[in-house]
Structure 1
Amino acid sequence: MMRRALLALLFASPAVWAADGSWTSQSFGGTLTRGQQSLKSRMVQAPSPLPVGSVATRLAWKITPDGPTPVGFSIKICSSSRCLPLTGLTGDLALPAGYPPAGPYRFEYYSPVRGALYPPLTMLRNEVTVQYRSGAR
Structure 2
Amino acid sequence: MQVSQDSLVCIPIEVRNFNDLTTVQFSLNWNPSIFKFEGINPTGNLAGLTAGSFDLSLSDIGVLGINWQDTTGVTLPDGTAILELCLRAVGNREACTRIDISSSPNAFLVQSTQTGDRNLSLNPLHGENLYSRCDKSRFCIRCATYLCGI
Which interval holds the TM-score relative to the shorter structure?
A: 0.3 to 0.5
* Larger helix share, 1 or 2: 1
- Return the TM-score normalized by structure 2: 0.41
Task: Say which one has the larger Rg.
Answer: 1
User: Higher relative contact order by CA 8 Å / sep ≥ 6: 1 or 2?
Assistant: 1
